[in-house]
């Protein structure tokens, strides 16, 4: 076994690999960009090397810099994690040529499976069923359009070098094909340096089933059962689980055997995942499950497989890379209970799931489950990298118990001012269809109305109002004689007879809440208690510091400044204002201004000044955090201003374009 390992990655996966490496007694080495100088993975390593500026192309994707860091530190092995250089065959060859152990498959295997079109041809030869589509060399617009028409709409356009939902576009009708193709090609070029695409028939009720495989240098290949990753949004996985709901024994045997055949076809070594797409319109059946692609690396969702098998997949990677055989035979790999993982993203579900960046001033994650993360309180979510900030993983005896436990964990998440999808995840897990196992990749789109929340719950409003009362009560408390001074009674006012009472208002976006606080306030034992009336209902509130108890439920609430109150409510973060915000403030599209939701680069301009547009029509496309974000017309009108050009770098909040109603535009 080698004595040291460098992780050519960052964040959560770097921390994850270090955890196992330390347990095995290995020296750990991190690399980092200028943006990650204070990152958690840097501090957790025994040694760390700066390799370049924030942009990934100049740091984490620069193979020469990573290799130089390995040589300078005497690293005996390199683990690539996932993303970045993990599926770069040239990098793997360079590592091996330098006499350093590559913790991954052979470069020939990476190349064989790295391009989706070539991989499909190889699988056909190996007898593995594949999805109907086009994987040809001719990439002309005319040929691709003709093939899409032959396959029949809807179709799925996929970058041949893609992954993680990037470079993937669903097109429902022929008239939208040209725009979808151009976008997929741009994302493919931007993310992978390859604009080529393939086209597949879009399955109307698809489920995403994948099988964890493992090979070694002694010719052994095993599977570690399947995972279901069907809960997705825009082709990016949100919740993963193992095993797959509704998978019977014969179907499981057919799928896992096909996965092993696929791995053997490329003489696979190390951890890999064979991904299948299933037509779930009539349940899971072996003859309706097709090969999609192979990921020649460790998957983000590997913890659910670890949970049901008891295997440390990173340890297996390290041992197999050192020349050892796979530790367990196929018959000895267990499958116990049910595991689920939720991806906690720095994004704002209330505003189209736009990525959220910035400092983590308040960062609390559940402490009674497995949490894999690469950030901590006081850290920062950068615009330069993927917005996933943590993975929440649970294991239970049954699927229902696992879903309930993970939902509770998501409700415990508290992150601010960066927004997260925690509340959204909890509602997904609580949804009756999900609990029943009735899921497919269109679940989120179909149930979006129930899964998104646009206003604070009565409990959250009561907590915010209660915090105002607590502040007033504390201000009125006479510290010297331990009494409530009548002339300093603050918000409640002073009455010689009867209970003190006050009315106030709170605002959350367009929502307006009138609240009443009543009672006999007193600062006793650092706690106050009184009644809060919210929209016809009354809640009993007491609390201290930033913990407010509303009818027995503990709610975290705090005031970051004199104008705002922040409340955490079942995973959601709700920001109340004591005074109504000015119209259009905060980048609202109510005034027709399209503002950049984050720093980024303009990659397309579907409209121009003077164009007549309809509500929802794309006006400008911004690339940020490795994804494209289309800003659309907020209403029917005319593009009165267009302030950017393709290629421009823009800052957060910049007005990119202005749409006005036709009468106002003149």
Contacts of 310 (CB under 8 A, 6+ apart): 334, 336
- DSSP per-residue letters across 148-200: HHHH-SSEEEEEEEEETTEEEEEE-SGGGHHHHHHHHHHHHHHHHS---EEEE
The secondary element (H helix, E strand) that includes residue 258 is helix 249-265
Contacts of 392 (CB under 8 A, 6+ apart): 341, 342, 344, 365, 366, 369, 370, 371, 406, 409, 410, 413, 425
- DSSP per-residue letters across 64-102: HHHHHHHHHHT-SEEE--SSTTTT-HHHHHHHHHTT-EE
Tokens of 440: 């497919």
Distance CA 657, CA 222 (A): 55
Tokens of 100: 């350093």
Is residue 297 annotated as a catalytic residue, yes or no? Answer: yes
Task: Return the number of other C-beta atoms located less than 10 Å from residue 151's C-beta.
Answer: 17
* Contact present, 484 and 522 (Cβ < 8 Å): yes
The secondary element (H helix, E strand) that includes residue 424 is helix 422-430
| Residue linked to tokens 């009472």 | 501
336: nearest Cα among 245, 401, 242, 257: 242
Q: How far, in Å, are 239, 363, 489, 508 from residue 464 at the CA level?
A: 31, 19, 19, 11
Distance CA 241, CA 435 (A): 12
Among 227, 252, 297, 343, the active-site one is 297
φ/ψ of 612, rounded to 5, equals -85, 130
| Residue linked to tokens 């309930």 | 404
Tokens of 244: 């797959």
Torsion of CA 382, 386, 392, 395, to 10 degrees: -160
Burial of 173 (0-12, 13-18, 19+ CB in 10 A): exposed
* Contact present, 643 and 666 (Cβ < 8 Å): no
Helix 422-430 vs helix 399-411: crossing angle, to nearest 10:
150
Task: Return the number of other C-beta atoms located less than 10 Å from residue 498's C-beta.
Answer: 8
Q: How far, in Å, are 57, 599, 626 from residue 189 at the CA level?
A: 13, 20, 11
Q: Determine the length of the chain.
A: 666
Tokens of 16: 């994850």
Q: How far, in Å, are 100, 174, 259, 355 from residue 83 at the CA level?
A: 20, 33, 22, 18
φ/ψ of 412, rounded to 5, equals -85, -10
| Residue linked to tokens 């699927």 | 399
* Contact present, 115 and 131 (Cβ < 8 Å): no
Tokens of 23: 């347990």
DSSP 408: H
- Catalytic positions, written as ranges: 297
């Amino acid at each position: 076994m080698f004595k040291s390992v460098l992780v050519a990655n960052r964040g959560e996966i770097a921390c994850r690999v270090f955890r196992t490496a330390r347990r095995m007694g290995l020296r750990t080495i991190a690399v980092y960009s200028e943006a990650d100088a204070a990152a958690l993975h840097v501090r957790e390593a025994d040694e760390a090397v700066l390799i370049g500026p924030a942009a990934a192309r100049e740091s984490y994707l620069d193979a020469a810099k990573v290799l130089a860091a390995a040589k300078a530190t005497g690293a005996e092995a390199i683990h690539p994690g996932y993303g970045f250089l993990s599926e770069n065959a040239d990098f793997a060859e360079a590592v091996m040529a330098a006499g350093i152990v590559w913790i991954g498959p052979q470069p020939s295997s990476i190349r064989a499976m790295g391009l989706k079109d070539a991989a499909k041809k190889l699988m056909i030869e190996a007898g593995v069923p594949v999805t109907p589509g086009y994987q040809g060399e001719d990439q002309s617009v005319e040929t691709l359009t003709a093939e899409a028409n032959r396959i029949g709409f809807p179709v799925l356009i996929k970058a041949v070098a893609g992954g993680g939902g990037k470079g993937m576009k669903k097109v429902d009708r022929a008239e939208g094909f040209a725009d979808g193709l151009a976008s997929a090609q741009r994302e493919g070029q931007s993310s992978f340096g390859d604009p080529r695409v393939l086209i597949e028939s879009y399955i109307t009720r698809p489920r995403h089933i994948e099988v964890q495989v493992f090979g070694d240098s002694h010719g052994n290949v095993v599977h570690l059962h399947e995972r279901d990753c069907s809960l997705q949004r825009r082709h990016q996985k949100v919740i993963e689980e193992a095993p797959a709901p509704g998978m019977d024994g014969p179907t499981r045997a057919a799928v896992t055997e096909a996965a092993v055949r696929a791995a053997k076809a490329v003489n696979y070594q190390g951890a890999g995942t064979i991904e299948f797409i299933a037509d779930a319109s009539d349940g899971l059946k072996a003859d309706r499950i097709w090969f999609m692609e192979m990921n020649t690396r460790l998957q983000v969702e590997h913890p659910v497989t670890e949970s049901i098998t008891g295997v440390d997949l990173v340890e297996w990677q390290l041992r197999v890379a050192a020349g050892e055989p796979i530790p367990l035979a196929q018959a000895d790999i267990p499958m116990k209970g049910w595991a689920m993982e939720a991806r906690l993203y720095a994004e704002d579900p209330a505003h189209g799931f736009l990525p959220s960046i910035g400092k983590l001033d308040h960062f609390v994650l559940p402490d009674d489950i497995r949490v894999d993360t690469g950030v901590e309180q006081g850290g920062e979510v950068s615009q330069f990298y993927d917005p996933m900030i943590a993975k929440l993983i649970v294991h239970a005896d049954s699927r229902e118990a696992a879903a309930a436990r993970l939902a509770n964990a998501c409700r415990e998440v508290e992150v601010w001012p960066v927004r997260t999808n925690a509340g959204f995840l909890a509602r997904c897990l609580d949804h009756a269809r999900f609990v029943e196992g009735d899921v497919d990749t269109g679940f989120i789109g179909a149930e979006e109305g129930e899964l998104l929340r646009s206003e604070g719950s009565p409990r959250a409003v009561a907590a915010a109002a209660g915090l105002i009362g607590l502040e007033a009560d504390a201000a009125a408390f006479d510290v010297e004689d331990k009494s409530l001074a009548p002339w300093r009674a603050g918000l409640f006012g002073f009455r010689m007879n009867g209970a003190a009472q006050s009315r106030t208002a709170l605002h959350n976006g367009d929502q307006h809440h009138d609240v009443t606080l009543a009672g006999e306030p007193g600062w006793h034992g650092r706690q106050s208690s009184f009644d809060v009336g919210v929209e016809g209902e009354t809640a009993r509130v007491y609390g201290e510091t930033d913990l407010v108890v509303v009818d027995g439920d503990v709610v975290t609430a705090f005031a970051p400044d004199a104008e705002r109150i922040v409340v955490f409510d079942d995973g959601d973060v709700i920001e109340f204002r004591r005074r109504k915000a000015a119209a259009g403030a905060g980048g609202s599209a109510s005034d027709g201004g399209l503002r950049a939701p984050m720093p980024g680069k303009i990659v397309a301009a579907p409209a121009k000044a003077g164009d007549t547009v309809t509500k929802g029509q794309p006006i400008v496309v911004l690339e940020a955090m490795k994804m494209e974000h289309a800003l659309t017309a907020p209403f029917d009108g005319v593009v009165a201003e267009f302030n950017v050009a393709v290629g421009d770098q823009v800052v957060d909040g910049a007005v990119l374009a202005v749409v006005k109603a036709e009468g106002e535009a003149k």
